[in-house]
Amino acid sequence: MPRPQLAKARRVRAVELFEDDGPNTEIAGAVGVCAESVRRWRRVWEEGGAPALRRCSATGRPPTLDDTQVEEVRAALERGAQAHGFEADLWTLERVGVVVERVTGVSLWRASVRRLGTGRLGWSLQRPERRAVERNESETARWIAQEWPRIKKGR
């Protein structure tokens, strides 16, 4: 059983035991949680009944940027890196972080910028191929076709 469903099943069972007016420590043992969780659940149950326990929201830290800010960042990034004053039209985590701070006023850690790009923006990390600027593709093809077989034959 997935974790959220297991947690919900535990809370539902705890409600049944609350209605029997069992002590928190016994309920905690019966559903497999600590007594503090049972005390918290009982308070919620006493204030809002069983439905209040069934709809527990997901926990975790709220995102630093709201949806509107993310869309503003997306629009800014889609204009390209050169539109923001960078020399090459290539995005790096540092450059994306600078644009995020300019657009929203929020400074993000490098890891948070990566999660923003790969998660909420749906981008993927790309690594440019390392090639010399002076590389001549036609000369490379000629060398592979003519010189390499001659060198290999001489072995």
Domain ranges in the chain?
3-54, 67-120
pLDDT of residue 83: 95
Q: CA 116: distance to chain centroid?
A: 7
Rounded to whole angstroms, what are the CA distances from 134 to 6, 89, 123, 137, 139? 61, 20, 30, 10, 11
Closest CA to 117 of 81, 93, 143, 153: 93
Q: How many DSSP H helices and E strands does the chain contain?
A: 8, 0
pLDDT tens digit string along 57-114? 666 777 889 999 999 999 999 999 999 999 988 899 999 999 999 999 999 999 999 9
pTM, two decimal places: 0.51
pLDDT of residue 130: 82
Euclidean distance between CA atoms 92 and 113, whole angstroms: 10
